């Protein structure tokens, strides 16, 4: 009977660890369903206004300016999930990792608040933690 309780306890702990270490996303959620093709269909250089961009994607995560005073908006979204090594209790202390994708949309506006240039990219990302990944 004690063995069964111990097995059930171990399974419960493992399930809790799996749930806690599952997936995470950070950034502007409006990029979640976007791709390079969908952004190309929505934005037109020399035509799309700043107000239209804000309506489509919300407020940017970062705003900066060029030396000439033109405004740059940046949107980012990283979606990560834990790799298999992260679910092994002792191994995760030494070599845990997460992988996923990062989407980034950068928009340059001209002096009339119209899109001058933009770039949408999606790239794989890997984050390593643990003693051996330092």
Query: Alpha helix locations (H) across 70-116?
Result: 91-95
Residue 64 lies in a domain: yes
Say what the pLDDT of residue 125 is. Answer: 75
Query: Does residue 133 or residue 12 have the better pLDDT?
Result: 12
**In 10 A of CB 117, how many CB atoms?**
14
Say what the pLDDT of residue 54 is. Answer: 96
Say what the pLDDT of residue 29 is. Answer: 80
The tokens of 134 are what?
A: 């330092």
8 A C-beta contact, residue 121 and residue 104: yes
The tokens of 100 are what?
A: 């996923």
How many domains would you assign to the chain? 1
Residue range 75-82: mean pLDDT, rounded: 81
Determine the structural domain holding residue 26 and report its residue range.
22-133
Residue 49 lies in a domain: yes
Residue 4 lies in a domain: no
Residue 57 lies in a domain: yes
Residue 1 lies in a domain: no
Above 60 in pLDDT, residue 84? no
Residue 95 lies in a domain: yes
Q: What is the pTM of this model?
A: 0.69
Above 80 in pLDDT, residue 115? yes
Residues 6+ apart with CB under 8 A from 123: 101, 102, 104
The pLDDT confidence band at residue 72, using thresholds 50, 70 and 90, is very high
Residue 9 lies in a domain: no
Rounded mean pLDDT of the chain?
Answer: 80
Say what the pLDDT of residue 52 is. Answer: 97
8 A C-beta contact, residue 62 and residue 85: no
Above 60 in pLDDT, residue 19? no
The pLDDT confidence band at residue 96, using thresholds 50, 70 and 90, is low
Say what the pLDDT of residue 99 is. Answer: 75
């Amino acid at each position: 009977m004690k063995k069964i309780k111990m097995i059930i306890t171990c399974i419960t702990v493992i399930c809790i660890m799996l749930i806690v270490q599952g997936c995470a996303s950070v950034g502007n959620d409006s990029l979640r369903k976007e791709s390079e093709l969908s952004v190309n269909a929505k934005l037109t250089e020399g035509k799309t206004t700043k107000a239209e961009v804000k309506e489509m994607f919300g407020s940017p995560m970062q705003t900066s300016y060029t030396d000439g005073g033109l405004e740059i908006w940046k949107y980012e979204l990283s979606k990560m999930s834990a790799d298999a090594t992260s679910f092994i209790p002792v191994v995760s202390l030494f070599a845990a990792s997460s992988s996923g994708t990062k989407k980034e949309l950068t928009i340059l506006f001209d002096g009339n608040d119209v899109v001058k240039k933009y770039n949408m990219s999606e790239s794989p990302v890997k984050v390593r933690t643990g003693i051996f990944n330092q």
